[in-house]
Amino acid sequence: MEGKPSIHDQYQNPLVCRYGSKEMSFNFSDTKKFTSWRRLWSYLARAEMELGLPVTEEQVKELEANIENIDYERAAREERETRHDVMAHIQTFAAVCPKAAPIIHLGATSCYVGDNTDLITLRDGFDILLVKLAKCIHRFAQFSREHKSLPTLGFTHLQPAQLTTVGKRASLWLQELVMDERAIKRARNDLRFRGIKGTTGTQASFLALFEGDHEKVKKLDARVTELAGFSKAYPVCGQTYSRKVDVECLNVLASFGATAHKICTDLRLLASRKEMEEPFEASQVGSSAMPYKRNPMRSERCCALARFLMSLPANALNTAATQWMERTLDDSANRRMSLGESFLAADGCLRLLQNISEGLVVYPKVIQRYIAQELPFMASENIIMAMVKAGGSRQECHEQIRVLSQAAGNRVKLEGAENDLVERIKASTYFAPIHSQIDDLLDPATFIGRAPQQVEEFLKSEVDPVLQEHEGKLEGTVTLVI
């Protein structure tokens, strides 16, 4: 194409330009990656100096002073020549650190900076997600508590079932979010540092540097691990940390994706019944052809991202399964995409979920109308029990209600009319002994069991402890630009 190149002439990853947050995008950026490499080189130099290798404080300080002084154009030129990204950045770092140049990367292999940086990025990515997940839990907890006593039709097989409450249904969503918070936190805390292990994980190069002193090699590994902010390093590895670690990380994100998909699918179904709606802005357009439409765009988008997120663990599984011996390089290109895109997709889902949860609208009158259509059938057992208490026969009462129910059901299905079972019962002389009780027997509040109490008990025992861990970090709203 002629003219000045434009970003509009190139593919732009929508996870970056449309869906993910700035902080998560930065977490997987070149700036984060290459400053982490330089920081790791400075950690290694400092630890080697502390343990007696010929590294000076002046050299270490020179490295530390130039961590963010990256000449990306030079690095790109170096990589084109060497076909090796780590060597390119060693040369670029050395150019601005002439005194420290001889000791940069001393004893290390490329995976010292590559894999350790990946572990730092995974850890920091989990930290970003955990706060956002806690915000979603907080918003849905407020919603669940607010609507804990509002009766609504329950559904099994997507068919009307016994009543539940709007808040109790939301507690089911919350329970899965709490499970995700626990799983993501566990995956985050299970992460260890690769540390300094050498080319095939034997630490041979460092043992040579320390002239066979095993204790100093162990101390070097521990000190660099500490400087990087990790409490432990993996005790054994090949050239890379085990790619099974990536499997564990992507699995918990995909599991959260299933939760997000479930929640937003429920919301889409409820929106189709006009019982609930996600936020809909005054100027928002639902359809280019049908101006009356209020499509659940946010929930649909969240489902789309969640579906993509759920597909990504297959990459990690296949990569882990094909790491021959101490490592092969066919993991590199795949991981450049699958790791970052998993976190960005999860981040996008959480931004949508928070935005949705902060503006959910409930329509009690619509819910009440649906209950009125189904409750007479569900109340038949209560009516039978009342008649038995009034001296009637259960079997005879059952037959009377069966006949009336069939007639009312046919009226609904064949004529499209309202359910008139209650009116039929009130008109029947057989049910005269309980006519005065009928309205009380049909009070929806008497059909929700312990739903309100379950909500409160669940919030207190399971949700509040999670929110306490994130106290002071739950403020702020999400505004979706697109």
Position 288 pLDDT exceeds 50 = no
Digit-coded pLDDT (tens) for 120-178: 999 999 999 999 999 999 999 999 999 999 999 999 999 888 899 999 999 999 999 99
Determine the pLDDT at residue 418: 83
Q: CA 462 to CA 287: how far, in whole Å? A: 41
Q: CA 8 to CA 356: how far, in whole Å? A: 30
Position 405 pLDDT exceeds 90 = no
CA distances from 144 to 35, 168, 170, 430, 457 (A): 44, 7, 5, 42, 12
How would residue 179 be classed by pLDDT, with cut points 50, 70 and 90? very high
Position 25 pLDDT exceeds 80 = yes
Residue 33's CB: how many other CB atoms inside 10 A? Answer: 18
Active-site position among 214, 287, 332, 393: 287
Active-site position among 42, 105, 144, 157: 157
Phi and psi at residue 191, in whole multiples of 5°?
Answer: -60, 135
Digit-coded pLDDT (tens) for 299-322: 999 999 999 999 999 999 999 999
Domain 110-362 superfamily per CATH = Fumarase/aspartase (Central domain) (1.20.200.10)
Position 415 pLDDT exceeds 90 = no
User: And the tokens for 376?
Assistant: 């007479």
Q: Is 287 labeled as catalytic in the residue annotation? A: yes
In this predicted structure, which of 251-265, 357-371, 402-416 has the lowest mean pLDDT? Answer: 402-416
Between 196 and 282, the higher pLDDT residue: 196
Instruction: Look at domain 22-103 and name its CATH class.
Output: mainly alpha
Q: Is 428 labeled as catalytic in the residue annotation? A: no
Position 373 pLDDT exceeds 90 = no
CA distances from 21 to 13, 18, 137, 478 (A): 13, 9, 19, 10
Instruction: Please give the CATH topology (third level) of the domain spanning 380-441.
Output: Ribonucleotide Reductase Protein R1; domain 1 (1.10.40)
Structural domain boundaries in the chain: 22-103, 110-362, 380-441
